Structure 1
Amino acid sequence: MSYFENIKVFLRVVELGNLSAAGRDLRISPAVASNRVKELEKYLGVRLFNRTTRQLTPTEHGKIFYGGAGRIIRAVEDAEASIASVSGKPKGVIRVTAPLGFGRRFIASGIPAFHEQYPEIEVRLRLSDHNVDILKESIDLAFRLGVIEDSSLRMRGIMDCERVLCASPDYIAKAGMPETIDRLVKDSHNCLLLRFPGSSEFVWTLQTPEGVRKVEVAGVFDSDDGDVLMEWALAGHGIVNKPRFEVQPFINSGQLVTVLPDNPPTAAKLAVIFPHKDFQDPKLRLFIDFMAARCQKMIRAALQ
Structure 2
Amino acid sequence: MAYLDNIQVFVRVVELGNLSSAGRALRISPAVASNRVKELEKHLGARLLNRTTRQLTPTEQGRVFYEGAKKILEAVSEAEAAVAAVSGKPRGTIHVTAPLGLGKRLIASGIPDFHARYPEIEVRLRLSDRDVDIMRESIDVAFRLGVLEDSSLRMRGIMDCERVLAASPAYLARRGEPKHPEELVTDNHDCLLLRFPGAREYFWMLKTEDGPRKFEVRGPFDTDDGDVITSWALAGHGIINKPRFEVEPYLRNGSLKIVLPENPPMPVKLAAVYPHRNLQDPKLRLLVDFMSERCQRIIGEILDGKR
Q: Please, what TM-score do these two structures have when normalized by structure 2?
A: 0.96
d(CA) in 1 for partners of 2:277, 2:207: 37
Aligned to 2:290: 290
Q: 1:299 to 1:200 in 2, by over 3 A?
A: farther
Cα deviation per residue 1:141-166 (whole Å; 9 max; x = unaligned)?
01110222222211100000000000
Question: How many Å apart are 1:22 and its aligned residue?
Answer: 1.2
Cα deviation per residue 1:99-121 (whole Å; 9 max; x = unaligned)?
11111221111111111111111
Q: Are 1:113 and 2:113 an aligned pair?
A: yes
Aligned to 1:225: 225
Aligned partner letter, 1:147: V
Q: Are 1:79 and 2:79 an aligned pair?
A: yes
Aligned to 1:133: 133
Which runs of no fewer than 5 residues in structure 2 stay unpaired?
Answer: none
Query: Structure 1 stretches (4+) deviating beyond 6 angstroms?
Result: none
Note if contact 1:180-1:260 (Cα within 8 Å) is conserved in structure 2.
Answer: yes
d(CA) in 1 for partners of 2:186, 2:56: 49
Aligned to 1:28: 28
Note if contact 1:97-1:126 (Cα within 8 Å) is conserved in structure 2.
Answer: yes
Question: How many Å apart are 1:201 and its aligned residue?
Answer: 7.0
Note if contact 1:93-1:122 (Cα within 8 Å) is conserved in structure 2.
Answer: yes
Aligned partner letter, 2:23: G
Q: Are 1:271 and 2:266 an aligned pair?
A: no
Q: Are 1:192 and 2:198 an aligned pair?
A: no
Aligned to 1:164: 164
Cα deviation per residue 1:79-114 (whole Å; 9 max; x = unaligned)?
110000000000011111111111122111111111
Alignment map for 1:169-248 (pairs within 5 Å) = 169-200=169-200, 202-248=202-248
Q: Are 1:144 and 2:144 an aligned pair?
A: yes
Q: Are 1:52 and 2:63 an aligned pair?
A: no
Which runs of no fewer than 5 residues in structure 1 stay unpaired?
Answer: none
Note if contact 1:194-1:201 (Cα within 8 Å) is conserved in structure 2.
Answer: no
d(CA) in 2 for partners of 1:8, 1:61: 17
Aligned to 2:4: 4
d(CA) in 2 for partners of 1:197, 1:5: 34
Note if contact 2:93-2:122 (Cα within 8 Å) is conserved in structure 1.
Answer: yes
d(CA) in 2 for partners of 1:104, 1:201: 27
Q: 1:55 to 1:20 in 2, by over 3 A?
A: same
Query: How many residues matched?
Result: 304
Note if contact 1:193-1:201 (Cα within 8 Å) is conserved in structure 2.
Answer: no
Note if contact 1:188-1:218 (Cα within 8 Å) is conserved in structure 2.
Answer: no
Q: Are 1:65 and 2:53 an aligned pair?
A: no
Question: How many Å apart are 1:188 and its aligned residue?
Answer: 3.0
d(CA) in 1 for partners of 2:200, 2:52: 33
Q: Sequence identity of aligned pairs in percent?
A: 68
Note if contact 1:251-1:257 (Cα within 8 Å) is conserved in structure 2.
Answer: yes
Aligned partner letter, 2:76: V
Aligned to 2:37: 37
Cα deviation per residue 1:40-97 (whole Å; 9 max; x = unaligned)?
1111111111112222111111111001111111111111100000000000111111
The CA RMSD over aligned residues, in Å, is 1.2
Note if contact 1:190-1:220 (Cα within 8 Å) is conserved in structure 2.
Answer: yes
Aligned partner letter, 1:237: H
1:173 aligned counterpart, secondary structure:
helix
Q: 1:201 to 1:244 in 2, by over 3 A?
A: farther
2:94 aligned counterpart, secondary structure:
strand
Alignment map for 1:78-97 (pairs within 5 Å) = 78-97=78-97
Aligned partner letter, 2:131: N
